[in-house]
Amino acid sequence: MKNIQSRAWVAAGLVAGTLALAACNPSDELLQPQQPGILTPGDVASAGAAGAEALRIGALGSLQQMVGGGNVNQENLWMMSDLLTDVWKSTDTFLERNETDQRRIQSSNGVWAAAYLMAQRVRGYARDAITPLATTVPSQPGEQGEMWFLMGFAETQLNQDFCNGVPFGITVNGVPQYAAGISNKDGFALAITHLDSAIALSGGTDSTAARTKNAALVAKAMTLVDLGQFSQAAALVAPVPTTFSYQATFAQASQSNEIWSLNASQSSARYAVGDSVDLSGTIGNALPFASAADPRVPISGGSSLNAKTPGIDKATPWVGSPWKNRTDAIVVVSGVDARLIEAEAALNAGDYAGMTNILNALRAAKPNLGWGTPAAMPALTAPASKDAAVKLFFREKAFWQFGRGQRQSDLRRMIRQYGYTQDQVFPTGTFHKGGTYNTDVNAPVPDSEKSNTLFTGCIDRNA
């Protein structure tokens, strides 16, 4: 098991942490994730192996921030992505969160802008570390591979969560190399080139090779699924064991799990576990995460209809998630993801019995989900039609990957690859804070990107 320790972010404070994290205007630094305020990556890299290691740890810390960390009252990309779906419900007063929950995101949304910056920084920090690692620690090619994995994984996430038109610029010697926005499809292809580099560099026996290879195999397969290449994806993850788990971990002294920070305490909760019903009535298409009594999403704090336990808005019922402790881990990629990829390949081959067998094996396996291990569950019955098989698969996938930023991509794929419409898969009906749900299926690239002279806005907001 690979743990991205919270101390990585502390160490990053000595190197990458002196970067533009302290700047006041995110737009000045959006495409300059390597641009420092005090030290340059070259300065750190010139310290030899120790400097290269510092850059590597800083890059790992940036990944931790993107998937599970954040700042006080500032969530990460995965939380915002899931808030656009049925995974979370806003119990907050902030417009940025409420408009996301309502599927009505403005390009001026500052919370999305910060989450976008987190993902772009992963790319920059990882890129900065690759050459120093190759130069000073050549006996550990797996460490270089891990940096390529970080780059490719962040690029996949950006294309899953944002509109067509994300730009992927870089900074060279402190000078931004601006890039125009590209389609999500081309962005996935870019991610695959970097994940291929990760796989190529992690075939040895050095200390990071095995975990990096498994992580990169799963990440590449997830990206192939985004491109509709299901059988190729399944073949890629066949050697990844179900027990494999590449995790981000946290420590009370440095960095808390941000789901815990924004959901665990009723009095300060800005998020609640989503459900298929709320005080406004039934939510169209939403899964009953809070009320299903599913061991993969053990809740706390009452029900989604109990107004006596509101969140910080003093109105919306609070429901606590599986992450009960500030140090609970969050899974980045895992063997569970590998088996779900194989199940979807069986689904697309028309093998509904084979798909169900894979899902039932997972239900019996009791894998580690970061916050803990769910109890074994009874077997499912194989569906008879494709529509029933698709709905069963994505329901199971949503419960296995709850809170891990995968739901928005899956709902987009149900539109793009399976022929559903947005009002058949995303939440619809009366919104609990007034009005109705809108039609957004992704987030716009934020206005802060306009400092990039080649960026002209989203190409489109299609799934």
The pLDDT, as a whole number, for residue 5 is 44
Instruction: Quote the pLDDT of residue 386.
Output: 97
The pTM for the full model equals 0.91
Per-residue pLDDT at 105? 98
What pLDDT does 43 receive? 67
Asked whether 403 and 294 are in contact (CB, 8 A), the reply is: no
What local confidence, expressed as pLDDT, does residue 329 receive?
A: 97
CA dist 137 and 5 (Å) reads: 21
The number of residues in the chain equals: 463
Largest Cα separation within the chain, whole Å, is 62
* List of the chain residues with pLDDT < 50: 1-2, 5-38
Residue partners of 459: CB distance under 8 A and separation at least 6: 163, 164, 165, 181, 183
The pLDDT score that the predictor gives to residue 33 is 42
Q: What is the CATH number of domain 2-252+329-451?
A: 1.25.40.390
Taking the C-alpha atoms of residue 89 and residue 79, their distance in angstroms, rounded to an integer, is: 11
3-state secondary structure of 268: helix
* 201 close to 141: Cβ distance less than 8 angstroms: yes
Q: Tens digits of per-residue pLDDT, 166-208?
A: 999 998 888 889 999 999 999 999 999 999 999 999 999 998 9
How far is Cα 165 from Cα 163, in angstroms, rounded to an integer? 6
**Inter-residue contact 447 to 108 (CB < 8 Å):** yes
pLDDT in tens, 66-88: 999 877 678 999 999 999 999 99
pLDDT of res. 36 = 42
Q: In the prediction, which pLDDT does 42 show?
A: 64
CA dihedral of residues 161, 110, 404, 250 (deg, nearest 10): 140
pLDDT at 87: 98
Please tell me the predicted confidence (pLDDT) of residue 252.
Answer: 81
Q: How many other C-beta atoms are found inside a 10 Å radius of the C-beta of residue 114?
A: 20
Q: Which structure tokens are listed for 299? A: 């809740």
pLDDT number for residue 171: 87
